[in-house]
Amino acid sequence: MQFGFLNVMKPKGMTSHDVVARVRRLTKIKRTGHGGTLDPLAEGVLPMAVGQACRLIDYLPSDKSYYGEILLGKKTATDDLEGEVLEEKELPHIAPEEIEKALVQFRGEIKQHPPVYSAIRIGGQHLYDLARQGKAPDKAPERTVVVHSLEVVFIKLPVVAIRVHCSKGTYIRSLARDLGDSLGTGGCLSKLIREKAGFMTLDKALSLDDIKDRVDRDDRQSLFTDLASALGFDKVELEERDAEDIFHGRAIELEGKNGEPGRFFLGVKNGVYIALLKQLENGSCKPEVVFSDARISS
């Protein structure tokens, strides 16, 4: 049964779509998607789903962690080094304490305008398409995001290196731009590495060469991150009768799993993932996602 999550190391210079297309060609599995876009400038963890795991992308933990380098003194159209330079300034003397003080406002729940060159849709069109046509608004619609932690790694002006743990929808490019505006210098993102996406970490990410090598060695199973590990859900062993009920869309009773409505479990039979289950108010569990080809494999 060829489905699951891949922890892919996206290289700098490729779009996330390019990486998906490459993995699709390498694995020869058409149904392939990713769980969180990275800009071409960025590199690092790109969670990918293959086969029926594509139905589970929305259940992946949504928090992310990044290492980023902010270049002060330069404003660009894209808020990173990829875009047209709009303004350049010579930096005045800025004490590290001033930078630390300016960063305080970007911790916790904050309001943020995403970059105009971004994948956000307005009226059914991506903002980056509108921007290329000269039809984008001056600012993207404001959104609320959460920055769980933000620490300074080093300051070597004009570069300020940071490490950020944040919620889904947070743009580090916007943070770079807004820090520059706060300091009165302008700023843009010069480097970005996604170090973690949910439970997937950079140290375990597979390069495209790694994936090709494992496919060539017919070692496809080693490509996959275990579903339970990727999603953070407990596994429950199912009886034959429970599996049959699940395949027919019926709720089942799970012994010892009462009192936690809304909790998710992964049902397993004979080592094969059968379904994603959701606990109901009455203590029973309904099948949320059923893996259709699991019936054959189990």
Question: In Å, how far from its chain's centre is CA 182?
Answer: 28
Domain residue limits, the chain: 4-61+199-229, 64-197, 234-297
Question: In Å, how far from its chain's centre is CA 168?
Answer: 7
**Range 4-61+199-229: architecture per CATH:** 2-Layer Sandwich (3.30)
**Range 64-197: architecture per CATH:** 2-Layer Sandwich (3.30)
Contact 283, 260 (CB under 8 A): no
- Catalytic choice (39, 79, 80, 178): 39
**Tokens coding 8:** 């892919």
At 280, which amino acid appears?
A: L
Question: In Å, how far from its chain's centre is CA 293?
Answer: 27
Look at residues 52, 21, 128 and name the one whose alpha carbon lies nearest to residue 295. Answer: 52
At 81, which amino acid appears?
A: L
* Topology alike, domains 4-61+199-229 and 64-197: yes
* Angle 278-284-290 from CA coordinates, rounded to 5°: 40
- 111-154: pLDDT as tens digits: 999 988 777 777 777 666 666 767 666 777 899 999 999 999 99
Q: Is the dihedral of CA 235, 237, 238, 243 positive or negative?
A: positive
Contact 249, 290 (CB under 8 A): yes
Is 293 tagged catalytic?
no
Tokens 């490459």 correspond to 22
pLDDT score for 135: 62
Return the CATH number of the domain spanning residue range 234-297: 2.30.130.10
Q: Which helix (H) or strand (E) holds 48?
A: strand 43-50
- 167-195: pLDDT as tens digits: 999 999 999 999 999 999 999 999 999 99
pTM: 0.91
Residues of the chain with pLDDT under 50: 296-298
Q: Which helix (H) or strand (E) holds 109?
A: strand 108-112
